């Protein structure tokens, strides 16, 4: 027997109410409550029925045998890095990003690389026809007899196709287009996305199929659908980048099988996405030399050192309150650095607008970029350029001291590899390692010492 009921669900957070409300009590969003007719059908499916029960019993954790998760490597080293060393069979991965950023291109190339190794791959598209997918595969050169393509949005038919083919790797493009016939609501709503994701999770865990779900994003940049969608999957990857630039950044914000600090750099070409083995050269190739307000910082993205240019512009304001704008760095961090320069260094910045930008669109979260940002602001304020082949990194405290950072040897080696001549680093980070030849190491303990070494 089936039971039909009418409810109002928030399309932002999934809050449910028996009556309509203008403002959602769950997330305080306006005009997001949409009427849905939900039919709950009691079924006895293989993986998700009301009568399905587990026969496992609780056992002490010391009696459970631990074994390393097997990994399946793809041809894309950048993707393997972000995933923590490769695909894990039975994992459920969610990939989000802006429209046209290259999500489908990346997954079709990954499907082809896995199909070449003899694994069965099923690519399910709910937004493109089979012929459209074939045209994109022709352009990318993704041709393999083990790569199966299906255009379907019905969840029950998708499950039948998976049971018939028995793939090792499956791609659902996208989860917002898939619907369950038993749920009487439109595809893409909170109920449909939650129900369909639950089915794919049970399929992935029950049959050991590595499954990738493509998720649409809202205008704020978050993945559309309930927040619970990100809790259900094993990995959440965001594909970032500007349409007007050729490079893309793949970032992991959740990973149960690896680190969330890793990023993958790709370059969009005519034949698809190509991995960038040395992203520092990509970010520094357009760097101007001998210009005030420009410095280079060595930042760590996971286990990889990346050299990025930080640009600052300080100009006199015509308003009572000066502006503080930052792109790629936390706005609060910029305000802290400006306050330290005013209080400890005596710079009069109260009538100056300060703009800070990380060239290339990269987002830097670690505090090791503080010293480079401070020197960029001081360089622009004094209109005095820094040395063009200096690399700077270090954390700044509120008393004006420069604190030590981790993995200094890797940062310096990356700078020396790219031809930099000097490195201004915290004095406390000089112990326990030997600097490479060909680069001068300058240890500083305060911001005043760093400014004297960089600008004098």
The answer to whether 104 is annotated as binding is: yes
Q: Was 208 annotated as part of a binding site?
A: no
Q: Phi/psi of residue 48, each to 5°?
A: -140, 70
For residue 211, cis peptide bond before it (omega within 30 degrees of 0): no
Q: Is 97 annotated as a binding residue?
A: yes
102 annotated ligand-binding residue: yes
Distances (CA, A) of 366 to 241, 261, 405, 423: 20, 10, 10, 18
- Select from 328, 334, 284, 285 the least CA-distant residue to 309: 284
Q: Which two tokens stand for residue 79?
A: 């993707």
Which tokens sit at 160? 């039948």
**Pairing, β 33-41 against β 2-10:** antiparallel
Residues 87 and 66: their CA atoms lie apart, in Å, by: 19
Helix (H) or strand (E) holding 373: helix 370-382
Q: Quick check: 405 and 429 in contact, CB under 8 A?
A: yes
Name the H helices within 47-154: 77-83, 103-116, 130-140
Pairing of strands 235-240, 247-255: antiparallel
Task: Indicate the pairing of strand 92-97 with strand 210-215.
Answer: parallel
User: In whole angstroms, what is the distance from residue 32 CA to residue 175 CA?
Assistant: 20
394 is in an annotated binding site: no
- Beta-carbon contacts of residue 381 (< 8 Å; ≥ 6 apart): 314, 347, 349, 352
Q: Nearest Cα to 123, choosing from 160, 152, 97?
A: 152
Comparing C-alpha atoms, which of 217, 209, 144 is closest to residue 174? 217
Which positions ≥6 away from 203 have C-beta within 8 Å? 47, 159, 162, 209, 211
Residue 185 marked ligand-binding: no
Q: What gap in Å lies between CA 102 and CA 110, rounded to an integer? A: 12
Q: Strand 324-327 relative to strand 390-392: parallel, antiparallel, unpaired?
A: unpaired
Q: How far is CA 82 from the centre of its chain?
A: 9
On whether 320 is known to bind a ligand per the annotation, the reply is: no
Q: Is 91 labelled as part of a ligand binding site?
A: no
Which residues define the annotated binding site?
A: 97-104
Q: Binding-site residues for ATP, please?
A: 97-104
């Amino acid at each position: 027997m089936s039971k039909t009921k009418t409810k109002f669900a928030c399309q932002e957070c999934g809050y449910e109410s028996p009556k309509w409300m203008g403002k959602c009590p769950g997330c305080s969003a306006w005009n997001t409550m949409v009427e849905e007719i939900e039919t709950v059908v009691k079924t006895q499916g293989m993986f998700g029925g009301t009568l399905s029960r587990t026969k496992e019993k609780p056992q002490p954790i010391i009696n459970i045998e631990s074994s390393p998760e097997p990994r399946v490597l793809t041809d894309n080293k950048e993707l393997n890095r972000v995933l923590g060393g490769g695909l894990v069979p039975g994992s459920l991965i969610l990939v989000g990003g802006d429209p046209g950023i290259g999500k489908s291109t990346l997954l079709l190339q990954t499907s082809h690389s896995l199909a070449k190794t003899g694994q069965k791959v099923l690519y399910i598209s709910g937004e493109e026809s089979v012929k459209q997918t074939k045209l994109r595969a022709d352009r990318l050169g993704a041709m393999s007899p083990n790569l199966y393509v299906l255009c379907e949005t019905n969840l029950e038919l998708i499950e039948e196709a998976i049971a018939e083919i028995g793939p090792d790797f499956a791609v659902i493009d996208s989860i917002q287009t898939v619907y369950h016939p038993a749920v009487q609501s439109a595809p893409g709503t909170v109920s449909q996305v939650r129900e369909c994701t639950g089915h794919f999770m049970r399929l992935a865990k029950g049959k050991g199929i590595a499954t990738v779900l493509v998720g649409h994003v809202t205008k704020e940049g978050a993945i559309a659908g309930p927040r619970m969608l990100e809790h259900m999957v094993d990995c959440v990857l965001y594909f970032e980048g500007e349409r007007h630039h050729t490079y893309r950044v793949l970032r992991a914000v959740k990973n149960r099988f690896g680190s969330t600090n890793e990023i993958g750099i790709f370059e969009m070409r005519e034949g698809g996405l190509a991995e960038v083995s040395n992203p520092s050269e990509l970010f520094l190739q357009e760097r101007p030399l001998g210009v005030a307000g420009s410095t280079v910082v060595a930042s760590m993205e996971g286990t990889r050192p990346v050299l990025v240019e930080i640009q600052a512009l300080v100009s006199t304001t015509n308003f009572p309150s000066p502006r503080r704008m930052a792109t790629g760095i936390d706005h609060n961090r910029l305000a802290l650095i400006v306050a330290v320069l005013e209080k400890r260094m005596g710079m009069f910045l109260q009538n100056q607008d300060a703009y800070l930008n990380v060239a290339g669109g990269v987002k830097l979260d670690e505090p090791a970029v503080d010293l480079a940002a401070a020197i960029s602001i001081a360089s622009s304020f004094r209109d005095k350029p820094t040395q063009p082949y200096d690399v700077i990194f270090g954390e700044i405290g509120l008393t004006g001291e420069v604190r030590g950072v981790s993995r200094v040897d890797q940062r310096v080696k990356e700078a020396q590899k790219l031809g930099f001549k000097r490195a201004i680093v915290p004095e406390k980070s000089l112990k326990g390692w030997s600097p490479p030849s060909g680069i001068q190491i300058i240890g500083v303990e305060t911001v005043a010492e760093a400014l004297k070494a960089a600008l004098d």
